[in-house]
Structure formats: structure tokens, C-alpha cells
Amino acid sequence: MRSQGRPRGGDDTGGLVPRDWLERIAGLPAEGGPSGEVWARRAARLVDEVLAQWDLVVTGSAMTGQTAVVLPVEQAGRALVLKVGWPHEESAGEHLALRHWGGRGAVRLVAADPGRGALLLERLDSSRSLSPIQIDEACAVVGSTLRLLHVPAPPTVAPLAAWLGPQVARLGGQHGIPRRIVTRTQGLAGELLTDPDVSLLLHTDLHFDNILGFPDRPDEWRAIDPKPRAGHPGFEVQPVLRNRIEELGTGSAFRWGIRRRLEIVAEAAQIDPEAARLWSLVHTGIQIGWAAADDDGAGVSLHIAIFKALED
């Protein structure tokens, strides 16, 4: 590997992967692959191997997400980013989805090494997300992006239904969730999953920070970090409802804001708004279950409020 690719050297992370981030990753239990602790010990070596394999030069400091580190790199003078992540269930199909989209609505995949959890991607403008954009406009961009992404799913992407069933079933055994929400979520999921099979390629986590601007093109946006499934597009709307919550206010304003966001996204994405509402109820019920399992009282309360706002 070219020595000028290292901003600094001499420690066991090779100076590229932030140590505090690795310490957090080390606390994660295995999800179909190595535990966070095992993976964190070899993360620096994986990064070095991929840099050498693709002949990359690191040109800036690392950025970190929940489970991946991203490095700005150049390959033969071309500005790209290298993403290397802890392998887990939600990340397994990312390269498949990005390859299938081919840059249409999502960041373009240049190369992938699934065995190392490495993706080489076109470089977007990381300083330009939808978070500071006026909320109606931001929701319209999310919806328009979803419309581009909703293409027939390849057979290699796992179906939403197979994942959803166990998630919904688990709700019944959790404490701190109102019984009517458990019953409503389970009943709706059963009804929605008996509908004729819709198998579109879903991002499933398209919130305001998972869309970045395209460099030098102020009106173009690309999705990043998909957690792909194959299923009904109505499931896609809920992440927009649970982010930028501080802008929703309380009481009737909260309900109006939740419904307004759903309406804008559904219209721009060309999703039936009633289907989007019902799928969002199911998705919100699952979020309540996850928050309860994590003893996250604030998360439980927030998602119960969203659930109530979505009900007629």
C-alpha cells in the first residue's frame, strides 16, 4: 500500500480507524458473523488489505456510522469513498442492492468485496444532507428518491415477509407495550402479508441523513446505507416519521405533522397513502418492540405517539 495513504501511523489501528469507534463496535454481539470484539481486532488489517487490493490512497480523515467506517480515497486520481463495516444481517445485501440500482437514485457502487465487508463507492457531498432542508421539501425528495429505488427486486435480496414475521411475533412476549398495540400490529401484519406478493427492492432506512447531495449538482440527491429487503413499498415511509421529531410539536400539531409527512412522501413515491399508513403502523409497532427490548423508555413513548397519530 502507498505510504502517503496514512494520515498518521504507529498504533494498532494503523492510524486510519478511530479507536473510540472500534471500542464501541467491540461491544456488539454476533449477528450471523463475527462478534464486534472479534471483528474490531482485525478491522485495521481489513482496511489495509482493501486499500492495497484496489490501489487506493486515503485523502482525509475517517467518518464513522453505526457499524461502518468510511474513508475518502482516490484511485488513479478519481475521488471515491471506501466503506468497511462490521458484517451483520442488515448489511449483508447492501452491495447487491447498490449493484442492482446502478446509480439510479442511490450512490453508485464501483467495487465490492463482500468477504471483507468492503464497498468502494462514488463520492457524494457528505456536507449536504436533507436534515437542514425545509421539511416539506425534504419529504418530497425522500419520496422522489424512493420512486427511483422501487424497481423489481433481484432474487438475491431477502424478502421482507420472512424478516417481518418473527419481529411481529416477538411483540407478544415483551413487557411495557400496550396490548392493543401488539394486537393491532400483529393483526395488520397478518392482513398485509396475505395480499398479492409485491416484491420491489426496498431501502428500508431512508431518513433525512441517508440521502446526500451529488457534487456540483444542487438538485440531485442519492440514497446511501440501504438495509435492503424485497417487499411492499408502503414499509418505506416510517423512517421519515421518526426523524426530526423536534419539529413536530405536540398534541394535534404532532398528529398533523406525522400525517403531512406521510402524505408528501407517499405522493412523491407513488405509493398508495392508505397502504403507506397501514404499513407504517406495522413498522412503528416493530420500533416500539425494539425500544422496549432496549429499555428505551423515551423511544417507546415516541413510537407509541407516532402509532396513535397514524390511527384513524
**How big, in percent rounded to 5, are the helix, strand and coil portions of the chain?**
50, 20, 35
In this model, does residue 13 exceed pLDDT 60?
Answer: no
In this model, does residue 176 exceed pLDDT 90?
Answer: no
Among 205, 219, 295, 312, the one annotated catalytic: 205
In this model, does residue 4 exceed pLDDT 70?
Answer: no
Residue of 277, 210, 272 lying closest to 241 (CA atoms): 277
This prediction's pTM:
0.91
Q: Give the tens place of pLDDT for each residue, 52-111.
A: 999 999 999 999 988 999 999 999 999 999 999 998 888 889 999 999 999 999 999 999
Q: Give the tens place of pLDDT for each residue, 216-274.
A: 888 899 999 999 999 999 999 999 999 999 999 999 999 999 999 999 999 999 999 99
Residue of 109, 81, 98, 115 lying closest to 228 (CA atoms): 98
Examine the residue annotation and report whether 205 is marked as an active-site residue of this protein: yes
Q: How far apart are CA 115 and CA 84, in angstroms?
A: 11
Q: Which domains does the chain have, with CATH numbers?
A: 3-91 (no CATH), 127-310 (3.90.1200.10)
By the 8 A CB rule, do 222 and 203 touch? no
